[in-house]
Homo-oligomer: A and B are copies of this chain.
Amino acid sequence: MPEQPAGSRPTLEAVAARAGVSRATASRVVNGGAGVRRPLADKVREAVEELGYVPNHAARSLVTRQSGAVAVIIAEPEFRIFSDPFFEQQVRGISRELTAHDSQLVLLWVEGPGDYERIARYLGGGHVDGALAFSLHDDDGLPALVHRSKVPTVYGGRPGAGAAAVPYVDCDNRGGARTAVRHLVGLGRERVAHIAGPRDQTSAIDRADGYHDVLFDADPALTARGDFTVDSGARAMAQLLERAPDLDAVFAANDLMAAGALRVLRERGRRVPQDVAVVGFDDMVTVAAAADPPLTTVRQDVEGMGRLMVRLLMRVLNDGGDRGPGAPASVIMPTELVRRASA
């Protein structure tokens, strides 16, 4: 039965009094108990239990100068955000790992460049110990801004060439693309087309590079560009069909565009996979498995990437500013080809 003054939570002071020790000792026990003799420590823990003591985060944070929170900066352009469970899985991974590190997740949703000022102020305000951000377009100003705020940050996805050398976590876009294209070639396809993503996104670039790694002398007519949306995939497919009616396979830089391609192929009477084999990328749950026919695609462990981002950040945070053995290396995660009916 707690016996503090009603309406307010018990303080360390109260715990100390009840345990018959000083506040200093009580504090030590609450924070792990190193250097406190057993019987005393037990008495304190008992008092904590009885009083239902929960440390006041603000007070602790005030003196330790640590917030115990990490900002997750979301700045995806709308078209991607709304149509992509990707984000969700990644945040889930981040959340899980953060919990394991006793840290809180503060979500910062960026409403376009006009909002950067606010983000900068927030980060500069010392509300969070570190930040996790996602790389977008090459010309985005966010990374520079985050960098200036001095808050340790780890990126999801390889930042564009413009950005400074920052730790990031990405999947092996290029290798995954190679696997996809090799699979198509292994199926005996001889005219493998590529529906590429936006020029200014590293994931799209890397996937296109993977395509060219395998098909280094590919006919330029076999490549069309989309913007990662279903419609753009459909348009690209239509273009390709016009430019190269003899194509017998398509590697799309993501599942959404592959779905668009599938639609156009069906409309034009091309059978998948008999006439044209199709491979996507991402293994987006709602899209790939639900497509008709179900999509063969390249899977990446998005949740795992989220977790890894947190681990990397924690390492940076623990190394402190001492720059340890250099900034922690970035991590590239493997991908996996998921075979379904489309190729």
Q: Which residues of A contact B (CB under 8 A)?
A: 9, 52, 54-59, 61-62, 67, 69, 72, 81-85, 87-89, 91-92, 95-96, 99, 104-109, 111, 118, 121, 124-127, 230, 256, 259, 263, 266, 285-287, 290, 292
Contacts and interface: CB of A to CB of B under 8 A. Distances in A.
Contact of A85 (B9, B52, B85): B85
Contact of A83 (B55, B61, B285): B285
A124 B58 contact: no
A106 B104 contact: yes
Contacts of A99: 109, 111, 118
Contacts of A54: 121, 124-126
Given A58-B61, A58-B62, A285 B88 contact: no
A125 B57 contact: yes
A99 B107 CA distance: 11
A145 to B, nearest CB: 15
A101 to B, nearest CB: 13
B85 A83 contact: yes
Contacts of A72: 107
Contacts of A256: 286
Contact of A286 (B61, B92, B287, B292): B287
Nearest to A95: B109
Interface centre among A9, A69, A126, A286 (most CB of B within 10 A): A286
Contacts of A58: 58-59, 61-62, 67
A330 to B, nearest CB: 25
Nearest to A87: B88
B92 A81 contact: yes
Nearest to A66: B58
A107 B125 contact: no
10 A-B pairs with least C-beta separation: A95-B109, A58-B61, A58-B62, A54-B125, A105-B107, A83-B286, A58-B58, A82-B285, A107-B107, A230-B290
Nearest to A64: B58
16 contacts: A56-B62, A57-B67, A57-B126, A57-B127, A58-B58, A69-B106, A81-B85, A81-B88, A82-B88, A82-B285, A83-B285, A84-B85, A96-B109, A106-B107, A263-B292, A292-B292
Contact of A82 (B67, B89, B105, B108): B89
Contacts of A121: 54
Nearest to A289: B230
Interface centre among A88, A96, A292 (most CB of B within 10 A): A88
Given A83-B85, A263-B292, 6 more contacts: A54-B125, A57-B127, A59-B62, A81-B88, A286-B287, A292-B292
